[in-house]
Chain A
């Protein structure tokens, strides 16, 4: 009798669970077949991938897929990232300031009674600037580090730069040896300027120096140390 009860219990359990399981399967297949959104990135598709090689194997010519990389999106930025986008030197935006900062720049009016006196305010503002500078350095360092990891993960290739344009921060610094596609360069806030040094053409963008090279068949900008004398 007990075995019959157990069998009956199992059957009822199956009757209850199987439809839920099937529903899950159908839902999963429906999502797979219908795509996963990804809108709003028009024109930024990567042409890279294993099928580009035309190889008959997955050896040296097979490239890691973009879909397998750790997605360097804003939500995954290092914890050292400040709540603000690093300033390009064009003035910090009020909305960018951390909440612990004075609500107004000293000497710019507003605040009235709540405004600290000038000396205290100047000190606070200096602390803000110092903190912002530190945050910026940490952020840049963190981003460059993450970029480097991604670069290594991908076998040293950036993919067409559309990822870069969506999350690259102004003033961001890259490790020497990092490679940027033309699209990634276009997303930088600085202007790439050719500089002839001893017969060789280098490129400068902000404080970073580059030279052009073929990387994976594309003309890219490779981060280098500054040329001698620069």
Chain B
């Protein structure tokens, strides 16, 4: 009788094992566990070195080809993209100009005193006074004027800190060739996102690719960017940061963050 009970118990465990194993899996099938924990100081140093290399450049131009996943209400993931050209003259001049894949063209520029955004297709532009450096401008543009600026940390002088703060994991993945450029591929993780950086090997450690996975969001959407045409001697004279409204252009405004606007409107 005892043997029969033991056999029954074994049968139960065998049947229940797959279900118990399933319970351990992360909802949605997201991978969990198994990744190497810990931080490789050399990987962090490689990131910091590349970031510092960029920060030290007083003038630089580069191209960004971005694509991102947009998770639809029904869970379907759709890819969108844009191309941007960046001209930077530290500390207080930057111009970002580009085109979305849907053909919409526009950009943002900053001359140390005024932010200007324009939409060439709608033939409109908006200006906002803002004295200061590029760091102050990007904070103001994104946080106050609610204007998106993907990868804005690339033009900021606190880039090394931005990339390495709050890391929970940093590892070399290995060598990776992007086009003709041999890169170090480095995988990092902070509390919010997983991200990977591809940094060119050699005396000019520029970023060649950035992939960010928003693992806390449904569908794990990704942001991907290829960075190319790095130019550390670009033409960044004053004319580059001047905006001349096209004929017939309509001047519009930046709509501030509605919640903030509503709160201020309600304030006595």
Contacts and interface: CB of A to CB of B under 8 A. Distances in A.
Contact of A38 (B74, B117, B146, B219): B74
Interface stretch (A78-86, A114-122, A209-217): A209-217
A67 B8 contact: no
A131 interface: no
Contacts of A201: 250
Nearest to A212: B252
A22 B17 CA distance: 11
A29 interface: yes
Interface in B43-74: 66, 68-74
A52 B223 contact: yes
Contacts of B143: 60
Contacts of B253: 211, 213-214
A56 B190 contact: yes
Contacts of B222: 51
Pick the 3 closest A-B CB pairs, nearest first.
A156-B258, A38-B74, A54-B150
Interface string B20-52: 001000001100000000000000000000000
A219 interface: yes
B9 A7 contact: yes
A66 interface: yes
Contacts of A179: 255, 258
A45 to B, nearest CB: 5
B266 to A, nearest CB: 12
Given A8-B5, A22-B19, A57 B223 contact: no
Contact of B192 (A14, A52, A57): A57
13 contacts: A7-B5, A49-B70, A51-B70, A51-B217, A51-B223, A54-B212, A56-B190, A65-B218, A68-B218, A71-B73, A156-B257, A215-B255, A219-B122
Given A14-B12, A32-B29, A179-B258, 18 more contacts: A4-B1, A14-B16, A22-B19, A36-B75, A45-B72, A47-B78, A50-B221, A51-B212, A51-B217, A152-B262, A155-B257, A177-B262, A179-B255, A211-B252, A212-B252, A214-B252, A215-B146, A219-B122
Contact of A56 (B22, B145, B163, B258): B163
Prevailing SS type, chain A contact patch: mixed
Query: How many A residues touch the partner, as a band?
Result: 35 or more
Of A58, A216, A219, which is in contact with the most chain B CB atoms at under 10 Å from its CB? A219
Contacts of A112: none
Interface residues of B, number: 68
A67 B76 CA distance: 10
B29 A56 contact: no
Contacts of A156: 146, 257-259
B204 interface: no
Given A66-B72, A212-B252, A11 B9 contact: yes
B68 A49 contact: yes
Interface string B227-255: 00000000000000000000000101111
Contacts of B255: 179, 213-215, 220, 222
Given A18-B16, A56-B192, A219-B119, A155 B72 contact: no
Contacts of A29: 29
Nearest to B108: A217
B192 A38 contact: no
A65 B72 CA distance: 8
Interface in B136-155: 142-143, 145-148, 150-153
Given A25-B22, A179-B255, A214-B117, A67 B73 contact: yes
B8 A177 contact: no
B252 A219 contact: yes
B15 A38 contact: no
Given A25-B22, A155-B258, A212-B250, A217 B5 contact: no
A141 to B, nearest CB: 19
Contacts of B177: none
A193 interface: no
